Amino acid sequence: MYARLRPLLFRVDAEQAHRATLWLLEALSRVALGRRVIRQISGSPRTQTHVEVIGLSFPNRLGLAAGYDKDGRALRGLASLGFGHLEIGTITPLAQGGNPRPRLFRLVEEEALINRLGFPNAGGESVRDRLRARRTPGVVLGVNIGKGKETPLESAPGDYGRLLLALGPWADYVAINVSSPNTLGLRSLQGRVYLEGLLAELVTLRARLDRRLPMLVKLSPDLTEAGLDEAVDVIESAGVEGVIATNTTLAREGVESPLGSEAGGLSGKPLFRRALAAVERIVRRTQGRLPVIAVGGIRGGKEARAMREAGAALVQVYTGLVYRGPALVGEILEALG
Ligand SMILES: Cc1cc2nc3c(=O)[nH]c(=O)nc-3n(C[C@H](O)[C@H](O)[C@H](O)COP(=O)(O)O)c2cc1C
């Protein structure tokens, strides 16, 4: 079915097609029959085996990566696809429009995307109100947070702290995004000095919440090996529960399309090797102590299994869903058993 829909979607501007897909999912999921249809199309099994990771019980090992449903507008529809967890965001304290369009490009031959969206989102307050009004039972909800475009790097902990306190009560876990390439300077927060300060502040702040809220740090695939080791050491010592590896890359390995020269982060098939290498290194460095959510170029059961074999506890997808459609969910769930 998606094979027939995809050419139509791909004729439309990538962002518009994305918005239409989310709208359709959410509209269908308003009624029980619609939710059944969505689940059938995705081929997700009815029975699930829960897994314990970062102190939470996940219905299965597959989640939706951040950026797909930034403002949490289609949670019920996305949950109906069979994901065990959904990560919304990146959310910034204030609403922002992101970079000028066009800012999302399909590299069809490469099964890849390049995006330089720059965190368009409805802002912390508006997303908090939406989450407060509507919970999605049966699925773990992650909220990915970042700093506002105009916030200087030195004041970044203030942005993350505000968001942690505002959105934490409505989230099952919080992902700290210090790795998007489209917000100037953001990735320098992965360096030891900034990261130690940021995580110490967030660990202190979360003690104010009335339950222990697990936190994960989302890392870039473009860190050097030494940079990755350093970040992982800081994360472990800070008492943060896990890492998400990886975000998009500025590298263009495996890209021949002229669109490769567009500025932004590359995701999808060409990212897989880099993301896998990062996961392997993190697991080795921490001897498996730090739970890893693997993301980057997973486009079928084979890649998902490779990430598991490398030691990842959970996996996430984004670009694979754009190219393979909802059946990807069933395929990966089956492969992960
Ligand atoms: C259009 C687009 C928007 C994204 N937005 C975010 C974001 O807001 N925050 C974030 O942490 N990651 C974001 N990502 C990165 C994804 O969550 C994921 O880490 C990356 O795309 C690699 O996975 P994939 O190859 O399965 O797409 C975005 C990716 C894409 C393609």
- Between the CA of 247 and the centroid of ligand 1 the distance, in Å, is 6
- Between the CA of 168 and the centroid of ligand 1 the distance, in Å, is 21
CA-nearest residue for atom 18, ligand 1, is 247
How many angstroms separate the CA atoms of 325 and 260, rounded? 23
| Alpha carbon distance, N-terminus to C-terminus of the chain | 24
Structure tokens at 71: 């403002």
What is the tens place of the pLDDT at every residue in 228-279? 999 999 999 999 999 999 999 999 999 999 999 999 999 999 999 999 999 9
- Between the CA of 285 and the centroid of ligand 1 the distance, in Å, is 25
**Quick one: pLDDT at residue 134?**
82
Atom of ligand 1 nearest to the CA of 66: 17
Judge if the beta carbon of residue 199 lies within 6 A of ligand 1: no
Q: 146: burial class by Cβ within 10 Å (0-12, 13-18, 19+)?
A: buried
Judge if the beta carbon of residue 142 lies within 6 A of ligand 1: no
How many angstroms separate the CA atoms of 279 and 35, rounded? 34
**CATH top class, domain 2-336:** alpha beta
How many angstroms separate the CA atoms of 240 and 219, rounded? 13
- Mean predicted lDDT score pLDDT of the chain: 97
How many angstroms separate the CA atoms of 140 and 56, rounded? 8
What is the tens place of the pLDDT at every residue in 147-165? 999 999 999 999 999 999 9
- Between the CA of 82 and the centroid of ligand 1 the distance, in Å, is 19
Per-residue pLDDT of the chain (337 residues), as tens digits, is 788 989 999 999 999 999 999 999 999 999 999 999 999 999 999 888 899 999 999 999 999 999 999 999 999 999 999 999 999 999 999 999 999 999 999 999 999 999 999 999 999 999 999 999 987 889 999 999 999 999 999 999 999 999 999 999 999 999 999 999 999 999 999 999 999 999 999 999 999 999 999 999 999 999 999 999 999 999 999 999 999 999 999 999 999 999 999 999 999 999 999 999 999 999 999 999 999 999 999 999 999 999 999 999 999 999 999 999 999 999 999 999 8
Judge if the beta carbon of residue 271 lies within 6 A of ligand 1: yes
Atom of ligand 1 nearest to the CA of 70: 8
How many angstroms separate the CA atoms of 217 and 269, rounded? 23
Report the residue among 318, 321, 324, 328 best suited for mutation to probe ligand 1: largest number of ligand atoms under 8 A from its CB: 318
**Quick one: pLDDT at residue 332?**
98
What are the domain boundaries of the chain? Answer: 2-336
What is the tens place of the pLDDT at every residue in 301-319? 999 999 999 999 999 999 9
DSSP state of 182: T
Q: Which of 28, 189, 14, 15 is nearest to 1 (CA)?
A: 28
- Between the CA of 66 and the centroid of ligand 1 the distance, in Å, is 6
Q: Which of 80, 180, 220, 267 is catalytic?
A: 180
Judge if the beta carbon of residue 180 lies within 6 A of ligand 1: yes
Atom of ligand 1 nearest to the CA of 267: 25
pTM: 0.98
How many angstroms separate the CA atoms of 315 and 64, rounded? 8
Report the residue among 16, 149, 247, 299 best suited for mutation to probe ligand 1: largest number of ligand atoms under 8 A from its CB: 247
Atom of ligand 1 nearest to the CA of 269: 25
CA-nearest residue for atom 3, ligand 1, is 67
- Between the CA of 114 and the centroid of ligand 1 the distance, in Å, is 10
Q: Quick check: is 42 catalytic?
A: no
Please check whether residue 112 is in contact with residue 167, taking contact to mean a CB–CB distance below 8 angstroms.
no
Element housing 75 (H / E)? helix 75-80
